[in-house]
Structure 1
Amino acid sequence: MSVQTADPKRAAEAVPDHPTVHDARLVDRRDQGGRRVLEVVLGPDVDRVPPGVLRTLADADCGITTVQEQGTFLVAVVT
């Protein structure tokens, strides 16, 4: 299902304000059908996506499609 109301750009502007967010940027991802997604890097040593980050994403009608560890960081792909 494709979500047409998601606003990753708005999420990209708001989510860096959270203290656990190390970086957030919009990128074009081939593995996501070539669409622009938001990559949120959490950490170091963050073991889950905090509720405050989830609320910020929800406010922009965005959801997380994947989360993976990269070293001591977590990277969440948001659409």
Structure 2
Amino acid sequence: MSIQTANLEAAAEAVPEHPTVYDARLVDRRDQDGRRVLEVVLGPQVDRVPPGVLRALAEADCGLDTVQSQGTFLVAIAE
């Protein structure tokens, strides 16, 4: 069992300020025990999660769960 200490709301406010972030939104994952996650969409042609985005997530005690390409975008799920 893990203790949820992530401040997803703070991360959702901080992450969009990075120039590579196209969109960031809180999503309820009902199919995964109702957890909330932060979905971060990185702009076209971005091939990795930049250090600035990782830093903003870390400052809100969030970590990456998955990162995958969707067309020309990269989608990272933070929790």
Query: TM over 0.5: same fold?
Result: yes
TM-score bin (small chain): over 0.9
TM-score, normalised to structure 1's length?
Answer: 0.93
Stretch moving more, 24-33 or 34-43: 24-33
Distance in 2 of aligned mates of 1:64 and 1:2: 15
Which blocks of at least 5 consecutive residues in structure 1 are unaligned? Answer: none
Count of matched residue positions in the alignment of Structure 1 and Structure 2: 79
Percent identity of paired positions between Structure 1 and Structure 2: 78
Where does structure 1 differ by over 6 angstroms across 4 or more consecutive aligned residues?
Answer: none
TM-score, normalised to structure 2's length?
Answer: 0.93
Q: Give the aligned partner of residue 66 of structure 1.
A: 66
Which amino acid letter does the alignment assign opposite residue 78 of structure 1?
A
Alpha-carbon deviation of 1:33? 2.5
Alpha-carbon deviation of 1:43? 1.4
1:10-46 deviation line (CA, Å, top 9, x unaligned): 0000000000000000011134332110000001100
Q: Give the aligned partner of residue 7 of structure 2.
A: 7
Coordinate RMSD, CA, aligned: 1.1
Which blocks of at least 5 consecutive residues in structure 2 are unaligned? Answer: none
Stretch moving more, 2-11 or 15-24: 2-11
